[in-house]
Structure 1
Amino acid sequence: MKMKWLFLTAALMLMIPTGASAEQKQLDAGEGVQAFAGHMWKHGELDEQKWMEIVRKYTPDEADEWQKVLDERKALRKQMKNEQVKKALHAKCAEMKKKREAALDQLIDRLANKEITKEQFKKEWKQLHKRKKWMTKAEKQKLRELHHRTYEAMKENDKKALASLLPQWLEHMKNENERLAKWIQEAT
């Protein structure tokens, strides 16, 4: 009986790496524009060039507006690398963390002194926890769906879908630029 388990385990161990390499070969075969859809923001200027290639191909009339948004994003990234801005942002984050901790301590004290019930504590704690989020759950879900639809459109080379999705990406990028600019301005 032990011998059967030993052979089964050995067989499974040999099959797993084979399956993974076959899966990797399938992924490698589909590289190109569709691979870009999975991680659009990781490499800065390289991604900006890819964005502009896609925009010029599917929505050339919006290329100037895209270039403005990408240039603004590049300027914001440059600001974020400035030492003074880094220090100011770090100080702002530390201040926000201290405020949240103080509010949580106060909330715990109120619960300990029986000024509020456990249900009220949970409700207020959720509100306190919710404030520190960069994006709401709805915004995150909307962004995930946009990523997925863009990935599928690129995979299928669906020009009509990409032409309708690119304006949504442009709007998202504008909103993110505004949010980042506001954050930098508040910190400095």
Structure 2
Amino acid sequence: MKKWNQGVIAAALLLGTVLPGGVHAQDLSQPVALEQMSRDEGGGHLKFRQRISAHQTMYMTLLAEKYTPESVDEWKQVLKERDRLIEEMRAAKEASGEDREWMAKREERKKIREELRAKVEKGEITSDEMKQELEKWKEKNFPGKAGDDQARRAQMEQFRAVYEEFDGAIQSGDSAQIKAVMPKLLEQLKAKNERLAKRLKEVKK
């Protein structure tokens, strides 16, 4: 039982890298720097993430088999769909050059932030004014993203509540509690897939 519980805890930790914030702390519906992922020789970082994904699939399938056997096939299908969407997203971003553009914007934002922070330290502007300037920059360079960020944060709060419930169930070792939270985790993964599929369509336009 101890070994099983350790496996379940590992599953919770690994699953947490995917659902609450994407491959935490990256939301896979947002641009991912392919250059960073493959900077190790042979794309070591990417291969590592692929291995982690395989572990996540195994752990969550084991959980489903033990606590919600009636949903095992659905778990397998949804996890498979997640992996397909992630791979398609990587390919689409690489083909569109979006990641390179995103990296350039990221560097630009970093420079602007540093300049604004220097002004705050000199007393030329307030911290609130700095935030406002950064929001203006974001809206100019990523129109509509501010609203999307709000929706994503709200979704993350819902995810976090379920993960706290899941963590409590694991800590207690209560089979009934674990069984009750598994369907909620599955629904979260479906929601993540829907978000990723929507983002994929936008990238492919």
Matched, 1:184 2:159: no
- What is the alpha-carbon distance in structure 1 between the residues aligned to residue 101 and residue 184 of structure 2? 31
**Which residue in 1 is equivalent to 2:119?**
none
Residue in structure 2 matching 1:58, options 67, 70, 90: 67
Shift of 1:75: 0.8
Unaligned runs of 5+ in 1: 1-29, 102-117
Aligned to 2:176: 160
CA deviation after TM superposition for structure 1 residue 71, in Å? 0.9
Kindly tell me: are residues 184 and 165 of structure 1, through their superposed partners in 2, closer, same or farther at Cα, counting changes over 3 Å? same
Decide whether the 8 Å contact of 1:55 with 1:166 is kept in 2.
Answer: yes
Within the candidate set 5, 8, 17, 1:33 is matched to 8
| Partner AA of 2:87 in structure 1 | K
Deviation at 1:166, TM superposition (A): 1.1
Unaligned runs of 5+ in 2: 24-51, 110-127, 140-144
Corresponding letter in the other structure for 2:61 = M
Q: Contact between 1:76 and 1:180, CA under 8 Å: does it hold in 2?
A: yes
Percent identity between the two aligned chains:
26
Would you say 1:150 and 2:174 are equivalent positions?
no
Matching of residue 71 in structure 1 with residue 71 in structure 2: no
What is the CA RMSD across the aligned residues, in angstroms?
3.5
Q: CA deviation at 1:138?
A: 2.6
Structure 1 or 2, whichever has the larger Rg, is 1
Residue 89 (structure 2) pairs with residue 86 (structure 1): no
Is residue 173 of structure 1 aligned with residue 182 of structure 2? no
Structure 1 residue 185, shift from structure 2 partner = 1.2
Alignment of 1:138 with 2:154, yes or no, is yes
157 and 146 in structure 1: CA distance in 2 versus 1, 3 angstrom threshold: same
Structure-2 residue corresponding to 1:12: none
The answer (yes or no) to whether the contact 2:11–2:60 under 8 Å persists in 1 is: no
SS in 2 for 1:131: helix
Report the CA distance between 1:91 and its aligned residue.
Answer: 7.2
TM-score of the superposed pair, with normalisation by structure 2: 0.55
